[in-house]
Amino acid sequence: MKTKLNELLEFPTPFTYKVMGLAQPELVDQVIEVVQRHAPGEYSPTILPSSKGNYHSVSITINATHIDQVETLYEELGNIEIVRMVM
């Protein structure tokens, strides 16, 4: 039986996205811009380069208020052109 994400979370709750994208200077700004649209606030994402330096992992935690917000952010972060994966 598959458990849905909204059955595991109680809102509001801190929710962290890990966004993997090309190592370009605009990656962090684009991630923050999308997050601000759906969860306005002050953010200090953590950025980790890949071993070869081609990609960056940007971790950003929001205060999620409902499951639609979480799912919309997964989709919109994944739509950023230089993003390769959202976890």
The tens digit of pLDDT for each residue in 47-72 reads: 999 999 999 999 999 999 999 999 99
67-78 helix and 26-38 helix, angle to the nearest 10 degrees: 150
Which pLDDT score is estimated for 1? 54
Q: For 24-86, CATH number?
A: 3.30.70.260
State the pTM of this model: 0.90
Domain boundaries of the chain, sorted by first residue:
24-86
- Burial of 22 per CB tally in 10 Å (0-12, 13-18, 19+): middle
Query: What is the mean predicted confidence (pLDDT) over 37-55?
Result: 96
More confident residue, 25 or 6: 25
More confident residue, 20 or 3: 20
